[in-house]
Structure 1
Amino acid sequence: MPAVTTWNIDPAHSSLLFVARHMVVARVHGRFERITGTLKVDPEQPAQGEVEVSADTASIYTGSPERDTHLRSADFLDAENAPKLTFRSTKVEPTGGSGFRLLGELTIRNVSHPVVFEARHTATSRDPWGNTRLIYTARATISRSDYGIRWNKSLDNGGWLVGEKVDVELDIQAVPAPA
């Protein structure tokens, strides 16, 4: 019977993404270019276990250098004083099949709040070199003001430049940690 083992997130094949509303109707997509993390899981029961993910806030990328610089500033992520964004799971609740809720603490700008990711184990697979990979997706919606991110500008139509809600998505490939 397999036991709980430690798996490392493969940063070259994993992503931490976000989507925020811009000017009420448009959506801006971004990602953190540098992420790390571990999973502690029994490969025979991949919807159970623990996860820890960390991203360098200075590695934010949206395709606009000016916007990325602003997002790194104290108006948003304050990368100089809060260099890491982290998520640590505290509980897993199976929802049927390969789905589960991943409950934990999300820390942004050194402020932590509970968050629930709707998650799924999408596959256990072998890569072309024979290495086993666990593959997961997880999504949550957060309120940016919960983390002290309040910068905004009002629009002539009565809306706001940046939406309050931000969708966060993890796409994870994990490989066994070296023994």
Structure 2
Amino acid sequence: MTQVTPGTWNLDASHTEVGFTVRHAGISKVRGTFQAVSGTLTVADDFTASSADITVDMESIDTKDANRDGHLRGEDFFDVEKHPTMTFRSTEVRDVDGEEFVLVGDLTVRGTTRQIELQAELGGQTTDPFGTTRAGFAATGEISRKEFGLTWNAALEAGGVLVGDKVKIEIDAEFVQA
């Protein structure tokens, strides 16, 4: 594994994207991002003992459609009045192979917590022209929205449903050494 300096790292939200993709009407995909995310990464001397703690402001959802975003914030989906954040807290780092590893953790959405696995990759560590030490990571995974109580849907005249169950997660994150 490429070395990341042990210690605490703070998420740089302006250089991070937390995105998702879900099937729409069985014929296309809708993509979205969350614009407000925060968190820390604690890198241990033994990388497999490292941990991440991330919080996403659910109000910050952006699918490029204000009406859809409003529906997603409402009771049918995220119910942000009662559940304003989504959290991920890692519980294990395993299968480290070069820059690739599996990040296991507890994802909490709408008050429901499930263990998920993310295929992750270290992009590297560098010092920028301003003297700030940065580390980049990417991670992908897939969840079932039904497992998190996100069951709203509508039947289609031709069969099938409006919103797919499987949600692909795509994260590109940059952290700054504390």
What TM-score comes out, normalization by structure 2 length?
A: 0.93
Equivalent residue number for residue 165 of structure 2: 164
Equivalent residue number for residue 29 of structure 2: 27
Tell me how large the CA RMSD over aligned residues is: 1.6
Distance in 2 (alpha carbons) for counterparts of 1:47 and 1:100: 9
Equivalent residue number for residue 11 of structure 2: 9
Tell me, what secondary structure is at the counterpart of 1:68? helix
Partner letter of residue 147 of structure 1?
F
Spell out structure 1 runs of 4+ moving beyond 2 A.
Answer: 44-48
Task: Tell me whether 152-161 or 30-39 shows the greater mean CA deviation.
Answer: 152-161
Partner letter of residue 24 of structure 1?
G
Distance in 1 (alpha carbons) for counterparts of 2:17 and 2:121: 15
Determine if contact 1:99/1:121 at 8 Å carries over to the other structure: yes
Gaps of 5+ in 2: none
Distance in 2 (alpha carbons) for counterparts of 1:84 and 1:46: 28
What do residues 45-101 of structure 1 show as CA deviations (whole Å, max 9, x unaligned)?
A: 667510011101111000000000000001111111000000000000034110000
Partner letter of residue 28 of structure 1?
V
Determine if contact 2:48/2:96 at 8 Å carries over to the other structure: no
What do residues 112-162 of structure 1 show as CA deviations (whole Å, max 9, x unaligned)?
A: 000000000011122221211110001110000011000001112211100
Tell me, what secondary structure is at the counterpart of 1:130? coil
How many residue pairs end up in the alignment? Answer: 175
Determine if contact 1:47/1:100 at 8 Å carries over to the other structure: no
State yes or no: 1:154 paired with 2:155.
Answer: yes
Partner letter of residue 33 of structure 1?
Q
Partner letter of residue 63 of structure 1?
K
What TM-score comes out, normalization by structure 1 length?
A: 0.93
Distance in 1 (alpha carbons) for counterparts of 2:31 and 2:92: 28
Identity percentage of aligned residues? 38
Partner letter of residue 31 of structure 1?
T
Offset at 1:9?
A: 0.3
Equivalent residue number for residue 129 of structure 2: 128
Gaps of 5+ in 1: none
Distance in 1 (alpha carbons) for counterparts of 2:169 and 2:21: 7
Distance in 2 (alpha carbons) for counterparts of 1:173 and 1:140: 18
Tell me, what secondary structure is at the counterpart of 1:75? coil
Equivalent residue number for residue 109 of structure 2: 108
